[in-house]
């Protein structure tokens, strides 16, 4: 009887293990690339020219529990993981008109290529143009997104590389920072408001309260907590040492929640015609709560 019961337990364990084993597949169209696991989206890159900006949403756990939010009611222009300048030559490229859904300055998708791989890593290449409506671009961007294949524990990374070329003299400006407002621009992560009571920030200088770390120079920031699939998970952004003004001042907001390595937080950035600006970030989606030692080691690996 005991051996029979043990056999049932072992059978049940084996079935559960098989059910939990990854079953990856690609979902691709002319405007997006998504990695699926058992039919649920692990990550999705969206590059639809009909939308105001390109973005990545959702970023999910390996089981498909979404960790980011797209266009929440409080800030419709927050789209999961996205990049936007605040002001270029005094024109707003960040906020979008609630009636038209467009910014005063346009971030135009000129060309997009996506390359899913057999090992379930993926690459997306974008050519972007920053312009006023009906006018020549003031700046172009070549953006490359390299998604790693998921690791055995479900972790995966996205290396985000952006090379901007100035076609005119350009001033990159922001709203001057005041305590918990202003200063933001650049690569940004937005999470659901439902995460606020239970999810925790962790920064490279050891702080865990957004208001205390906001505006400080940091090399990485992590946000983690309980996910909808019953696991604990988190997302971190690493700011590469080669980036201008590294370590950058970061904008962190607990109430949204939202964070960005805001390279123009402390001051505007002026660039001349023909100059280039290259930025490199790594986004890490990981199981478990944020761990300072592990995140520090991951940042050092990325830095090399």
Domains of the chain: 66-303 (2.70.98)
With CA atoms as reference, report the closest residue to 233 among 153, 169, 132, 175.
153
DSSP class of residue 193 equals G
260 contacts: CB under 8 Å, gap ≥ 6: 184, 185, 186, 187, 188, 189, 250, 251
Q: Rounded mean pLDDT of 233-240?
A: 98
pLDDT for residue 179: 82
- Condensed to tens digits (0 to 9), the pLDDT of residues 59-115 reads 999 999 999 999 999 999 999 999 999 999 999 999 999 999 999 999 999 999 999
pLDDT for residue 246: 97
- Condensed to tens digits (0 to 9), the pLDDT of residues 156-198 reads 999 999 999 999 999 999 999 998 899 999 999 999 999 999 9
H and E: helices and strands count for the chain = 3, 20
Q: Which two tokens stand for residue 150?
A: 């998921």
Percent of the chain with pLDDT strictly greater than 90: 92
């Amino acid at each position: 009887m005991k051996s029979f019961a043990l056999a049932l337990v072992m059978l049940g364990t084996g079935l559960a293990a098989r059910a939990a084993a990854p079953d990856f597949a690609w979902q691709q169209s002319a405007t997006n690339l998504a990695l699926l696991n058992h039919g649920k989206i692990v990550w999705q890159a969206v590059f639809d020219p009909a939308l105001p900006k390109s973005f990545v949403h959702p970023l999910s756990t390996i089981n498909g529990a979404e960790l980011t939010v797209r266009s929440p009611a409080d800030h419709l222009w927050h789209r999961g993981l996205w990049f936007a300048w605040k002001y270029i030559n005094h024109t707003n490229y960040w906020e979008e008109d609630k009636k038209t859904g467009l910014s005063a300055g346009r971030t135009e998708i000129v060309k997009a290529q996506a390359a899913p791989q057999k090992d379930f890593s993926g690459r997306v290449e974008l050519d972007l143009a920053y312009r006023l409506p009906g006018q020549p671009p003031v700046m172009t961007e070549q953006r490359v997104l390299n998604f790693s294949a998921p690791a055995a524990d479900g972790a995966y990374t996205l290396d985000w590389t952006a090379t901007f070329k100035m076609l005119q003299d350009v001033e990159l400006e922001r709203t001057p920072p005041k305590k918990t407002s202003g200063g933001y621009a650049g690569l940004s992560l937005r999470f659901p408001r439902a995460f606020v009571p239970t999810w925790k920030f962790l920064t490279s200088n050891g702080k865990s309260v957004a208001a205390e770390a906001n505006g400080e120079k940091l090399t990485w920031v992590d946000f983690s907590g309980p996910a909808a699939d019953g696991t604990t998970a988190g997302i971190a952004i690493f700011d590469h040492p080669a980036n201008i003004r590294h370590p950058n001042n970061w904008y962190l907001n607990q109430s949204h929640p939202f964070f960005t390595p805001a390279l123009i937080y402390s001051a505007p950035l002026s660039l001349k015609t023909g100059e280039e600006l290259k930025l490199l970030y790594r986004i890490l989606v990981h199981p478990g709560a944020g761990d300072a030692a592990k995140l520090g080691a991951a940042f050092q690996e990325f830095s090399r």
